[in-house]
Homo-oligomer: A and B are copies of this chain.
Amino acid sequence: MPSRTVENYLKSILMISINKNCVEVPMGMIAESLKVTPGTATSMVKNLQKEKWLNYKARKGVTLTGSGKKIGMRMIRRHRLIETFLVETLGLDWSEIHEEAEELEHSISDKVLEKLDVFLGNPQFDPHGHPIPSKSGVIRRLSQKSLLDCKVGKKMKIESILDQRTEFLNFAKNKSLMPGNIIKILKYQKIADTVEVQVEKKPKFSLGFNSADKIMVSG
């Protein structure tokens, strides 16, 4: 019933509200995340409100309704299961699956999706370490702690990578910045906005604050 555009809006809005855990998602973030002009986002969001998928307060932002959340979550599940399939079964690299899944998430029937889920053995995390919501829309709470929130010297486990850009993921893999690996912050240089880190026994290197904030960790 919802068009692929609607599906994209609802998924993006849900992901923003999860990642930044905010209740009201501001229009600017929606426009940025969907790569449309602010005016487009405003007009689209008004339509979504008519369809009862969200509530919109002018100059405040947007809150998903129950049905909006449901569709958004459904899209996240689809996206992540498809990504997992592309890596596990077809052997694509984790850096090239995001755009692919962005399309496929709208094209697969529920039946095929559930077959895929079984075929893959009910995976719980996608290749970037993001939890895959259950069919009924339940998702594991993900770590809200990024590299930036860590004490110097403490060893942490990498949970997931938020940045989905191909180049960033290539860089990350090259530096072994991958889910499961152990990372330590060696130095924290506020003035230069960098952290110096070491992954497992590999050579140390530096990350800017923006990049470090995309590496989610636990432990």
Interface size on A, residues (CB 8 A): 18
Judge if A24 is at the interface, Cβ distance under 8 Å.
no
One digit per residue, 1 when the CB lies within 8 angstroms of any chain B CB and 0 when it does not, for chain A 73-99 equals 000000000000010011110001000
Cβ–Cβ contact B96 & A115, under 8 A: no
Copies of this chain in the oligomer: 2
Which residue of B has the minimal Cβ distance to A106? B107
Give Cα A158–Cα B45 distance, bound, in whole angstroms.
54
Judge if A111 is at the interface, Cβ distance under 8 Å.
yes
Contacting residues, chain B, for A109 (C-beta < 8 A): 100
Contact partner, A96, options B86, B89, B108, B111, Cβ 8 Å: B111
Contact partner, A91, options B96, B104, B108, B115, Cβ 8 Å: B115
Cβ–Cβ contact A90 & B112, under 8 A: yes
Cβ–Cβ contact B115 & A100, under 8 A: no
Give Cα A109–Cα B101 distance, bound, in whole angstroms.
10
